[in-house]
């Protein structure tokens, strides 16, 4: 086993490799755009167990009575199905379609019906025993950055919305504070 640091002439990055006598894995980087209506909020996360579907469903209906949502979970072993649940057929379909497009093992998608928001369930979701993490909770346009290998796909991160255009000024601060009070999140 020998370390072989190598300087890449293309980008001047040192590439440290350990020679085990095997070929390096091939990986492709992809982006998958989340398809949804502009007003719809969703959560994208990572979990680790088939019982996630039932546990997240129970968590959501307990946190917000009457919540409208669709949930899809990408099973990463066994039958490798997109498991699903929910209370709204349109949101369920959105979750299923986006889960199939991203196709990363143990990822989950929750799409919320209009008038329901991640902020009302996010802490409860993070406390579900199987949930490992949340990539985003947003209504913004999102692109999911995927690494695809021979074995499968992994989510490396997300592009959530667009870059900032400027730093807020006093008028922007007043607008932000006013909005939060208008929609009832601040007194």
157-184: pLDDT as tens digits: 999 999 999 999 999 999 999 999 998 8
Residue 41: phi and psi, rounded to 5, are -90, 150
- 25-161 architecture in CATH? 3-Layer(aba) Sandwich (3.40)
Average pLDDT over residues 133-157: 97
Give the Cα separation of 18 and 40 in Å (integer): 46
Q: What is the pLDDT of residues 74-105, one digit of tens each?
A: 999 999 999 999 999 999 999 999 999 999 99
Give the Cα separation of 84 and 57 in Å (integer): 9
Domain ranges, ordered by start, for the chain = 25-161
Give the Cα separation of 142 and 183 in Å (integer): 24
Q: What percent of the chain has pLDDT over 70?
A: 87
Instruction: Check if the beta carbon of residue 89 is closer than 8 Å to that of residue 72.
Output: no
- What is the structure's pLDDT at 18? 53
């Amino acid at each position: 086993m020998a370390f072989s640091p190598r300087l890449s002439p293309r980008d001047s990055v040192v590439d440290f490799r350990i020679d085990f006598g095997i070929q390096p894995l091939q990986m492709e980087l992809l982006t998958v755009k989340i398809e949804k209506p502009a007003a719809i909020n969703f959560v994208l996360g990572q979990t680790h167990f088939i019982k996630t579907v039932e546990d997240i469903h129970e968590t959501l209906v307990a946190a917000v009575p009457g919540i409208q949502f669709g949930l899809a979970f990408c099973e990463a072993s066994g039958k490798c199905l997109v498991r699903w649940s929910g209370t709204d057929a349109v949101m369920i379909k959105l979750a299923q379609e986006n889960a199939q497009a991203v196709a990363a093992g143990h990822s989950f998608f929750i799409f919320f019906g209009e008038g329901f928001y991640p902020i009302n369930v996010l802490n409860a979701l993070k406390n579900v025993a199987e949930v490992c993490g949340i990539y985003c909770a947003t209504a913004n346009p999102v692109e999911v950055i995927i690494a695809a290998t021979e074995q499968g796909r992994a989510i490396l991160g997300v592009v959530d919305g667009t870059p900032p255009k400027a730093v807020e000024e006093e008028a922007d601060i007043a607008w932000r504070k006013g909005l939060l009070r208008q929609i009832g999140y601040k007194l």
